[in-house]
């Protein structure tokens, strides 16, 4: 997963803090752990835990301890220390789901104060979407991505990349139809996508499942990718 996507996930995870004052006298942080699922090069669904810690107060270090007792330092951070997270490598994904239970976070703030927070990971996962089509329209002026709806998902998110450059980002959106559609699609004008020139474009479609209808903390995320030459 690329850093830009994780930064986007951090923003979604921290919706519950959006009403807080940005200047805090007391050190406070919000933590979240969720399962991310992708399909590996062999087409097998694999999983990894993703951790995110956010605070309006600057943090210097963050460590997380799993229910099994293993401790990991979160070495990826953004905004000068306001958010810490882990950037999963391909080797971090396993065919077995992560350990469920309470994860403990030790957050050290810039002023030296340490605080401990917890967040629970349940066994629920979200399978990657099946992208049924990614192709130009019959007239050749648009590109459409079509996929089968993911059971139990609360929302979808789409990112389009050309190499390491983000071309388009669609924040979380829902299928508001009644009844829910079994197949969904999004369309894009070809000349808008290819403004930077011809090449291979990667569509990254993610499903998001939140812990509750408050939509504050994420329980599971899944991402499916498909390339198209434009």
Q: What pLDDT digit, counting tens, does each position of 127-148 carry?
A: 999 999 999 999 999 999 999 9
Range of the domain at 24: 3-121
179-211 pLDDT per residue, tens: 889 999 999 999 988 888 899 999 999 999 998
**Does residue 211 share a domain with residue 106?**
no
Q: Is the omega angle on the peptide bond into residue 179 within 30 degrees of 0, that is, cis?
A: yes
**Does residue 93 share a domain with residue 186?**
no
End-to-end alpha-carbon separation of the chain, Å? 23
Q: Which residue has the tokens 């519950």?
A: 16
Here the tokens at position 90 are: 């391909």
Q: CB within 8 A of 25, min separation 6: which ones? A: none
Domain final position from 91, 121, 151: 121
**Does residue 12 share a domain with residue 117?**
yes
| 27 pLDDT above the threshold of 90 | yes
| 73 pLDDT above the threshold of 60 | yes
**Does residue 104 share a domain with residue 175?**
no
Here the tokens at position 175 are: 């299928």
E strand or H helix at 61: strand 59-65
CATH number for the domain harbouring residue 184: 2.60.40.10
pLDDT of residue 143: 95
Domain final position from 121, 152, 181: 121
In a domain? residue 126: no
Three-state secondary structure call for residue 77: strand
Question: Mean pLDDT for the chain?
Answer: 88
**Does residue 175 share a domain with residue 68?**
no
Q: Number of structural domains, the chain?
A: 2
- pLDDT band for position 2 (cuts 50, 70, 90): very low
pLDDT of residue 3: 41
75-131 pLDDT per residue, tens: 888 878 899 999 899 999 999 999 999 999 999 999 999 999 999 999 999 999 999
| 13 pLDDT above the threshold of 70 | no
Here the tokens at position 146 are: 């079509």
Contacts 24+ apart (CB under 8 A), 115-123: 115/27, 115/29, 117/29, 117/30, 117/31, 117/53, 118/31, 119/31, 119/32, 119/33, 119/217, 120/33, 121/33, 121/34, 121/35, 121/49, 122/211, 122/219, 123/97
CATH number for the domain harbouring residue 97: 2.60.40
Q: How far apart are CA 120 and CA 118, in angstroms?
A: 7
Q: How far apart are CA 12 and CA 219, in angstroms?
A: 12
Three-state secondary structure call for residue 82: coil
53-62 pLDDT per residue, tens: 999 999 999 9
pLDDT of residue 22: 55
pLDDT of residue 214: 77
CA-based torsion, 108, 113, 114, 118: positive or negative: negative
**Does residue 197 share a domain with residue 148?**
yes
CB 121 within 8 A of CB 98: yes
Q: How far apart are CA 64 and CA 67, in angstroms?
A: 10
Q: Provide φ and ψ at 98, rounded to 5°.
A: -65, 160
**Does residue 140 share a domain with residue 110?**
no
- pLDDT band for position 215 (cuts 50, 70, 90): confident
For 13-19, what is the mean pLDDT? 50
Phi/psi class of residue 68: alpha, beta or left (left: φ > 0; alpha: ψ in -120 to 50)?
A: alpha
CB 37 within 8 A of CB 150: no
**Does residue 116 share a domain with residue 147?**
no
């Amino acid at each position: 997963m690329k850093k830009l996507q994780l930064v986007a996930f951090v923003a979604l995870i921290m919706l519950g803090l959006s009403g807080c004052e940005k200047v805090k006298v007391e050190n406070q942080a919000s933590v979240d752990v969720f399962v991310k699922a992708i399909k590996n090069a062999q087409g097998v669904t694999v999983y990894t835990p993703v951790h995110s810690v956010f605070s309006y107060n600057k943090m210097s270090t963050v460590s997380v301890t799993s229910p099994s007792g293993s401790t990991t330092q979160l070495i990826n951070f953004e905004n000068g220390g306001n958010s810490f997270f882990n950037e999963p490598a391909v080797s971090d994904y396993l065919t077995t789901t992560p350990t469920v239970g309470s994860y403990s976070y030790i957050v050290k703030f810039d002023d030296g104060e340490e605080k401990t927070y917890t967040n629970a990971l349940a066994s629920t996962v979200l399978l990657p979407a099946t992208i049924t089509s990614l192709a130009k329209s019959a007239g050749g002026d648009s590109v459409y991505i079509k996929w089968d709806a993911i059971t139990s998902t609360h929302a979808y998110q789409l990112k389009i990349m050309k190499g390491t450059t983000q071309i388009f980002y669609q924040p979380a959106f829902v299928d508001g139809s009644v009844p829910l559609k079994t197949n969904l699609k999004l369309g894009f004008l070809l000349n808008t996508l290819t403004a930077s020139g011809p090449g291979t474009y990667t569509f990254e479609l993610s499903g998001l499942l939140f812990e509750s209808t408050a939509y504050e903390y994420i329980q599971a995320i899944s991402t499916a990718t498909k390339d198209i030459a434009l």
